[in-house]
Structures are given as C-alpha cells and as structure tokens.
Chains A and B, each alone.
Chain A
C-alpha cells in the first residue's frame, strides 16, 4: 500500500479550465509539498503546507489534516502549466518523505 495516493494519474484540459489534483496520505505528517516537474527534469516545490490554504498566482493548495487530504487547484489553466505534479509528505517522525506517483497534466491551447 502506498503511503501517498494521488489522482488523477493523467489529465488533459482545455486552456482556461479549472483543474484539481488530489492527494491522500495515510501517515502523520509535519508538512506536505506540491512539486512541479517540467519536461527536462527540473523539480520545484510549489507549496509547502502544514495546515489551511495557500495561494500563489493561479495556483491554490489546500490541506485537511484531519482527513489526511490535500488538493492542488489551477485556475484559468494555460499550456505552460503542462507538467507533472507530485504530492510529497514529510512524516512527523523522522525525516522521511513519501511521494505520490504524480499527475501528468497537459493543457491544450
């Protein structure tokens, strides 16, 4: 059983659509990261959450600690948002990270 489950695995959207990617986890955590990986490999941490909600431009991330669930939303999606989005959680006992399998997003013009 994976400690982090992410859905959907693949997502194709038309430019301008609102997009949601979900992440559920089964361990106690001290932080959750949403990561973005563009073709070519570089990975960036978009958000680090321990509670509540964060917003950065068109990106919004929320987390519900009680339900062990987080969502990443992209408003007014754009082709440049096309990337793989990965949910990663830092366990609250020891420096151990668990990763979701990633969501491959393609935004079509």
Chain B
C-alpha cells in the first residue's frame, strides 16, 4: 500500500535554531501535500497546502516566513521551522494526496518537535 514517510519522528532543538522535517511519498506521486500542526488533545490544524513546483498556500494565521515549505518534487515536501522557539513545540504531520484525482490521502507518522 501507499506509504508516506516523515522524518525525523522526533527532534529536540535549542531555541533560535532551524529544524527541517521531510515528508516523502514512497511508492506514489503526490501533486499536493499538506502540513498540519496538532496540539495536545486537539484535532489537526491545517498549516499549509503545497503543490509541486509552486509556492505553498498558507492558512490564515500561519507565518510563511516562520514555516518554510518546499515541494520540489512529486515525492518530497519539506517543512522548515525557522528560528524555533518553545511555543513552536508541537506535533507536525504531513499528508500526501495521490496524483490523478483519486482523492486518496495518506498520512505520515508525524514529527514531534520540542524546542528548549
């Protein structure tokens, strides 16, 4: 079956550093990938939608200069949390929409970021 690999699964960093999270579709092409943030005991909060080869579309209230998203290929999107602060600590999840208008959506396992 289709798999989305997200890496790293957890990361601890110092305040002020940048952290990159990768989201890869392993055996299918994904024209669109989504990035979410999830706070404890809350549902998914969509941060941005990224389409291969174009700029990401950010949801209202999400700082695009803070959360840099790159979708350079049909199988890879990256989220970079720049100049991370403790309030950026969260669970970040990606999902990939299979190319071809099938509507199939697959999720990564998530990345837990802790900023000290």
22 contacts across the A-B interface (CB closer than 8 A): A31-B103, A41-B38, A41-B93, A41-B109, A42-B109, A43-B93, A43-B95, A44-B107, A45-B105, A45-B107, A48-B104, A86-B43, A90-B105, A95-B32, A95-B97, A96-B49, A97-B34, A97-B46, A99-B43, A99-B46, A101-B43, A102-B43
B28 at the interface (CB under 8 A from A): no
Q: Is the CB of A84 within 8 A of B93?
A: no
B26-59 contact mask (Cβ, 8 Å, vs A): 1 or 0 = 0000011010001001111010010100000000
Main secondary structure of the interface of A (DSSP, over half): strand
B9-24 contact mask (Cβ, 8 Å, vs A): 1 or 0 = 0000000000000000
Q: Is the CB of B43 within 8 A of A33?
A: no
Q: Is the CB of B43 within 8 A of A48?
A: no
Q: Is the CB of B105 within 8 A of A33?
A: yes
B93-109 contact mask (Cβ, 8 Å, vs A): 1 or 0 = 10101000101111101
A23 at the interface (CB under 8 A from B): no
A41 surroundings in chain B (CB, below 8 A):
38, 91, 93, 109-110, 112
B32 surroundings in chain A (CB, below 8 A):
95
A50 at the interface (CB under 8 A from B): yes
Q: How large is the interface on A (under 10, 10 to 19, 20 to 34, 35 or more residues)?
A: 20 to 34
- Interface of B with A (CB < 8 Å)? 31-32, 34, 38, 41-44, 46, 49, 51, 91, 93, 95, 97, 101, 103-107, 109-110, 112
Main secondary structure of the interface of B (DSSP, over half): strand
Which are the 3 A-B pairs with shortest beta-carbon distances? A31-B103, A102-B43, A43-B107
C-alpha spacing A104/B85, complex, angstroms:
30
| A42-B109, A42-B110 known; A99+B44 contact, CB < 8 A | yes
Q: Is the CB of B109 within 8 A of A95?
A: no
| A95-B49, A95-B51 known; A30+B103 contact, CB < 8 A | yes
